Amino acid sequence: MSKPSILKQVIALALFKMLINTGRRFVYPFAPALSRGLDVPLAAITSIIAASQFTSIMGLFCGPFAERLGYRAMMRYGLALLCVGMLLCAVFPLYGIVFLGLVVASFGKTVFDPAGQAFIGQNVPFQQRGRVIGILEMSWAGSTLIGIPLLGLVIDQGGLILSFYLLSLLGLVGWLSIKRIIPADEKNHGSGKMTVQIVSSLKKLIKIRSAAGMLGFGFWISMANDSIFVIYGVWLEQDFHVTLVTLGFSTVAIGAAELCGESLTALFADRLGLKRAIVLGLLLSVLSFLLLPFVGHTLPLALFGIFMVFLSFEFTMVTSFSLSTELMPRDRATMMAGFYATAGLGRVIGILAGTTLWKIGGITGVAWMAACLTAIGLLSFLWGLHGWEHKEAEVN
């Protein structure tokens, strides 16, 4: 059998990622249904969401394992975790078990993503990296625009248990099929102990200036974005008295903004140059945050402001994935795992900061704080990537 082309491999990875993204993101819109189905307060479901976000931080150690075990192996582990976690939820629909199952499934994304990004970094020329990563990351918007609505139909017709079984079955299909689509890569067994190799790999994230700057960048901009994400629904309800239907439409608008941002990365990031594209994206993000309180006097303009916030963030973030895959060519998965971990930490802090500042300063306070945090992210990026060129990355 002939080896699948890189295009087919990228499309397959995008579908696998959309499945895993759906497994993590569906808890947000269906939290009330989970609350009723498990007969627990809504706050108990919020705890599941927080624990799922925390898995991104735990994933810091997944990168070095991927360098040693191989990218395909780690991607298969990620799909296996999705399968097992959702199966636990289906077979034992009790809150404690569902909590554990959803966190296990969410950890599957933490395991899968760095390995998938590293695979692209290893097999796609740097000059085309933005286009391919942009296509791959359309799976994030796809989970909002396709995966979650389809899962909603399943829940409506067959209940939560059926949705858990379906996600588990699809995870198993992915686990079986990825072996036929993605080639096995060489394992870096190394000569030293595993723990020594892990510590050595993680130290590089701090020692290499470009990597350290990018980690700081990911932390600050993720903190900024989630501080808005956590309060935008409350803002729309309080200031515009919107219905649940309108709030649901706003989620579609965010998904559309994410898709536009990913598409812009695929179309223009390589042409602009990844560094220049990230700077432009950050400047647009700062401007979007600053203007949000001013344009948000009517509901259509408020929705447009939110659209621009998420479009600029997604364009910047996805383009940064493309660049990050080349900052540590010998430890690509370690770099990506570190990036996801620091960004995850930023998200957790951003959620806490956003909800706190909302009570004090409303949308103006949160939006302007987000603008300042994004500006700090820009400074971190400029410091880390000052003087960095692609040819220099090859000798790190």
272 pLDDT band, cuts 50/70/90, is: very high
Position 35 in a domain: yes
Query: Which pLDDT tens digit goes with each residue over 188-246?
Result: 545 556 565 666 777 788 889 999 999 999 999 999 999 998 888 888 888 888 776 67
Last residue within a domain, chosen from 136, 162, 189: 189
Nearest partner of 137 among 269, 280, 275, judged by Cα: 269
CA distance 217 to 342: 9
- Which residue in 76, 159, 157 sits closest to 111, CA to CA? 76
CB atoms within 10 A of CB 382: 15
Q: Is residue 195 part of a domain?
A: no
Q: Are residues 230 and 99 in the same domain?
A: no
Q: Are residues 371 and 292 in the same domain?
A: yes
pLDDT digit string, tens, across residues 143-189: 988 988 888 888 888 888 999 999 999 999 999 999 899 988 765 54
Token pair 């997604």 is found at 314
Count of beta carbons in the 10 Å neighbourhood of residue 281: 28
Q: What domain count does the chain have?
A: 2
pTM of the model: 0.86
Rounded distance between C-alpha atoms, residue 260 and residue 313, angstroms: 11
271 and 172 both lie in a single domain: no
Confidence grade of residue 392 (pLDDT, cut at 50, 70, 90)? very low
Query: Do 232 and 281 share a domain, yes or no?
Result: yes
223 and 299 part of one domain: yes
- The reply to whether 30 and 111 lie within a common domain is yes
194 occurs within a structural domain: no
pLDDT band at 34 (very low <50, low <70, confident <90, very high): confident
How is residue 144 annotated by DSSP?
Answer: I
Q: Which of 149, 166, 140 is nearest to 13 (CA)?
A: 140
Domain enclosing residue 100, as ranges: 6-189
Is position 127 within any domain?
Answer: yes
CA 335 to chain centre: 15
Mean pLDDT of the 84-104 span: 95
Alpha helix ranges (H) inside the chain: 6-25, 31-38, 42-58, 62-69, 71-91, 95-123, 129-136, 138-142, 148-158, 160-181, 194-207, 209-229, 232-240, 244-264, 270-272, 274-295, 299-324, 332-385, 390-393
Residues 224 and 263 in one domain: yes
* Domain-terminating residue out of 189, 212, 240: 189
pLDDT in the model for residue 195 = 62
Q: How far apart are CA 153 and CA 163, in angstroms?
A: 9
Q: What is the pLDDT of residue 189?
A: 47
The reply to whether 292 falls in a domain is yes
316 within some domain? yes
Residue 331 sits in a domain of what CATH number? 1.20.1250.20
Statement to judge: residues 282 and 248 lie in one domain:
yes
